[in-house]
Every structure is written in structure tokens, then in C-alpha cells.
């Protein structure tokens, strides 16, 4: 059974998934850049952009990023928040922002697994949307734990000040 027909017109440019029009050359984050050595090349961006690209921070944060159970999420978010504070104390805004992005990503990914069985929003075969509400309820608690840590990080005055300065200077 396919997707139901829709009588609404498809807006120009929306007839293909956005990733098919991805312009790699225009993307601000590069896997071949050491962002600790060249922090001036880092861009804050929107949401979680660049989170799985920017080294060496990705390599430092990924080993701590887990959300399988609320207990695991609690330990993970504490570890990442601790790294966030350490980066901030050292004046390493890029590291602090990357840690903030990992906290945000902990929330969004756990939320997806709470909403959808296996974390899949679309059927891998015909790409139709899957039913929401079929996920793991424990992941909702994991998401809440990461959400609180993410918002706590964003509320830090030192972080907010550095972020505003960074965006003004570099984008």
C-alpha cells in the first residue's frame, strides 16, 4: 500500500529531499580541520550542525554520549556537562559549544527513539512516515535528562556572552 494521494500542490524545490541538493562546498564544517588549532574556522550554526564533524572535539565527546536508559543518560549528560564547564573554564568556546551540541543531540535523538520504534521516522522501503508513539517510553526520560542539561548549559552567562561574541566576530 502506497502513500495516500494529496491534492495540495508541491512548492517549488520541495519535490526532492533537501539532502539531494546538498552543497558540500558551501557547508561551514570540514572533517579535515583541527578546530582546536584553527578555532577561527568554527561556526556556531543552527542547532546541532557540525556536531559529528568537528575534531578533535567530536572524538572527545562521542565516547560519553549515550541515552539507552535514564541511568545511562544521566551519567552521560553529567560527563558531557562537566566537559562543557571545563572547556568554558579554559576559554575554549568551540569545545563548550560542541559539548552543548552533544547535550542537545542527546535530547533530540532520545526523543526520536521515544516517539518511533527503532528511532525510524520513515519506512526504509517506500519512505512513508511511520506511526508516531510506537517508541520506547524510557527514552522520553532520557530525553528529559539531556534537555535539562542542554538548557542548563545554554543558561550559563559565561557561555551566552562568549557565544554572542563569537557569532559577532566569526558567524
44 within some domain: no
67/16: higher pLDDT: 67
The secondary structure of 135-169 as a DSSP string is S-HHHHHHHHHHHHHHHHHHH-HHHHHHHHHHHHH
The parent domain of residue 111 ranges over 54-169
Cα separations in angstroms, 88 against 32, 71, 99, 142: 24, 26, 10, 25
Joined grid coordinates for residue 95: 569545545
Query: What residues contact residue 96 under an 8 Å CB cut-off, 6+ apart?
Result: 84, 87, 88, 153, 159, 162
- CA dist 124 and 50 (Å) reads 25
63 within some domain: yes
Q: What is the pLDDT of residue 17?
A: 55
Residue 161 has pLDDT above 50, yes or no: yes
pTM: 0.81
47 within some domain: no
27 within some domain: no
Residue 123 has pLDDT above 90, yes or no: no
115 within some domain: yes
The model's pLDDT over 17-49, given as tens digits with 9 standing for 90+, comes to 555 666 666 667 788 899 999 999 999 888 888
The model's pLDDT over 104-121, given as tens digits with 9 standing for 90+, comes to 999 999 999 888 887 888
144 within some domain: yes
Q: Give the pLDDT band of residue 141 (cuts 50, 70, 90).
A: very high
Residue 138 has pLDDT above 80, yes or no: yes
151 within some domain: yes
Mean pLDDT of the chain: 86
Q: What is the pLDDT of residue 14?
A: 52
118/167: higher pLDDT: 167
By mean pLDDT, which of 101-110, 120-129, 133-142 is the weakest?
120-129
What mean pLDDT do residues 82-92 have? Answer: 97
Q: Whats the size of the chain, residue-wise?
A: 171
Q: How many domains does the chain have?
A: 1
Say if residue 42 is exposed, middle or buried (CB neighbours under 10 Å; 0-12, 13-18, 19+): buried
43 within some domain: no
Query: What residues contact residue 114 under an 8 Å CB cut-off, 6+ apart?
Result: 135, 136, 137, 138, 139, 140, 142, 143
Do 50 and 29 touch, CB atoms closer than 8 A?
yes
Amino acid at each position: 500500500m502506497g502513500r495516500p494521494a494529496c491534492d495540495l500542490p508541491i512548492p517549488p524545490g520541495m519535490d526532492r529531499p533537501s539532502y539531494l541538493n546538498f552543497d558540500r562546498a558551501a557547508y561551514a564544517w570540514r572533517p579535515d580541520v583541527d578546530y582546536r588549532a584553527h578555532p577561527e574556522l568554527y561556526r556556531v550554526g543552527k542547532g546541532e550542525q557540525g556536531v559529528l564533524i568537528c575534531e578533535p572535539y567530536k572524538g572527545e565527546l562521542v565516547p560519553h554520549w549515550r541515552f539507552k536508559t535514564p541511568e545511562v543518560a544521566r551519567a552521560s549528560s553529567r560527563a558531557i556537562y562537566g566537559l562543557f564547564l571545563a572547556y568554558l573554564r579554559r576559554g575554549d568556546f568551540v569545545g563548550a559549544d560542541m559539548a552543548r551540541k552533544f547535550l542537545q543531540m542527546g535530547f533530540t535523538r532520545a526523543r526520536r527513539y521515544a516517539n518511533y520504534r527503532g528511532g525510524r521516522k520513515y519506512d526504509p522501503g517506500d519512505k512513508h512516515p511511520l506511526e508516531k508513539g510506537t517508541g520506547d517510553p524510557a527514552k522520553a526520560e532520557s530525553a528529559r535528562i539531556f534537555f535539562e542539561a542542554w538548557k542548563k548549559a545554554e543558561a550559563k552567562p559565561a557561555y551566552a556572552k562568549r557565544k554572542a561574541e563569537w557569532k559577532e566576530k566569526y558567524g
